[in-house]
Structure 1
């Protein structure tokens, strides 16, 4: 009876939640307020299939749910890509769940790459914290200028890979973008310590310690550092040979 009552009281919320968009259109044309508040101050735009958090915006929820079309629509309607005073930003939500297309769109719209949330750290930390991290998402964040050695609770993204997935692909990618394999967390552990003995990740890190990156790689990283995130995102627009732009990316 209670569920029936809620459906009757908030038909627009119910129609959005069930993805019945014909019904949504009928209700809006019939005069229902698109900003109507539910009991917990949730608007119909929050009723997407997503894992929302307290005080999150509709854009945060759409990013968490992986709805690219919904994200596009919200951005077109003026949704803030960098909302203030939230536990997590839309970019964190998309990066955490490996929604690479949404990550790319948010960055193109000016999302802050290296801001810290209250839990994971930067969006790159969030992407690297999963048991099955999205390599494409990590790669896009890195090539867009995400700080590979950013710290959250004295841990870098490489520490998080070592603690959670021990992904070889993510390890090699982070190293290629300048991850410092020698940094220690608050317990005095390097990523190699956290990876554990006899793991594939530990072998990769040990090999890197024996044979550091070549001079050309140091030059690439120095140029990217000098350009900064905004400049890095303009590399593909340089009037330079393709082989050079690919090298810098």
Structure 2
């Protein structure tokens, strides 16, 4: 969930806020407003006047949260330069990095990570990589993974980022996660990413998952195979029925076997193998 001054905010942004001065209460600080609106000059003037860059509302929303939610990278950079806490959390655990991923702000995400933001949330906190995956921000996904986020990070009620992307039908994120080494079989509980794509009748994602070795015979909690989870008489159901009855090309089987032998943690080493470029690109689905 996004925290900040917008119409989608879940938490009540009109409640009182706790200012830095004991006994001083206001709805929002001027610093929050400047950061939210991207007014860099006003923000700098307020900082010069002595305003605390880590002032928070009663819900612990900071100016940095606001800057990142508005994709105002210059304001975010100015706040961080003056000591803003990049890992500050709201009362529901939302970080500025989560807000940056909510709006697909790769620039804000980069600035936060460069200045010590944790790329991965705790399991009980809102997860930046899941948020980026659900919003279709493949750039944020790539940035988070590059800075150390676990591509298979599992949250019980959400599953993996790949599963989240399949549920949201965000094919670019699905492709990015798979290329970054996401386990194509890991979803939520016994529900695989292929089940999610089939249920949503998203044939493009179904084909992509199968190319990366998704198990067409995997069964979910209802003991259904993906073809049985697809809407009756849908294009996806028809495609999966044909796929099940068709032997797979040897080249595809070999690629999957090689990638399995290499292992998810070592996919990045494929670039360093003494192989011809076409073969290297083939192994990396390029």
TM-score normalised to structure 2 length: 0.78
CA distance in 2 between counterparts of 1:69 and 1:30 reads 27
Alignment-derived partner of residue 137 in structure 1: 173
- Match in the other structure for 1:235: 270
Q: Which runs of 5+ in 1 are unaligned?
A: none
User: 8 Å contact 1:88–1:117 — kept in the other structure?
Assistant: no
1:47-86 equivalences in 2 (<5 Å): 47=66, 48-49=68-69, 54-86=92-124
For residues 206 and 38 of structure 2, what CA distance do their matches in structure 1 show?
39
User: C-alpha distance in 1, partners of 2:269/2:96?
Assistant: 30
* Alignment-derived partner of residue 187 in structure 1: 222
Q: Hey, what does 1:43 align to over in structure 2?
A: 62
Q: State the Cα distance separating 1:5 from its structure 2 match.
A: 8.2
Residues 124-152 of structure 1, C-alpha deviations (whole Å, 9 max, x = no match): 0110011xx22221111111110111141
Offset of residue 237 of structure 1:
4.1
In the alignment, which residue of structure 1 is the partner of 2:197?
Answer: 161
List runs of 5+ in structure 2 lacking aligned partners: 1-12, 18-25, 71-89
CA distance in 2, matches of 1:5, 1:126: 35
Q: Cα 1:4–1:97, aligned 2, differ >3 Å: closer, same or farther?
A: closer
Question: In 1, Cα distance between the equivalents of 2:249 and 2:91?
Answer: 44
Q: CA RMSD in A?
A: 2.3
When structure 1 is superposed on structure 2, of 113-122 and 166-175 the one drifting more is 113-122
Shift of 1:76: 1.1
More helix by share: 1
TM-score normalised to structure 1 length:
0.89
SS in 2 for 1:234: helix
The alpha-carbon deviation at position 182 of structure 1 amounts to 1.1
Match of 1:20 among 34, 39, 45: 39
Q: Structure 1 residues 36 and 241 mapped into 2: Cα distance closer, same or farther (>3 Å)?
A: same
Change (3 A) 1:32 1:77: same
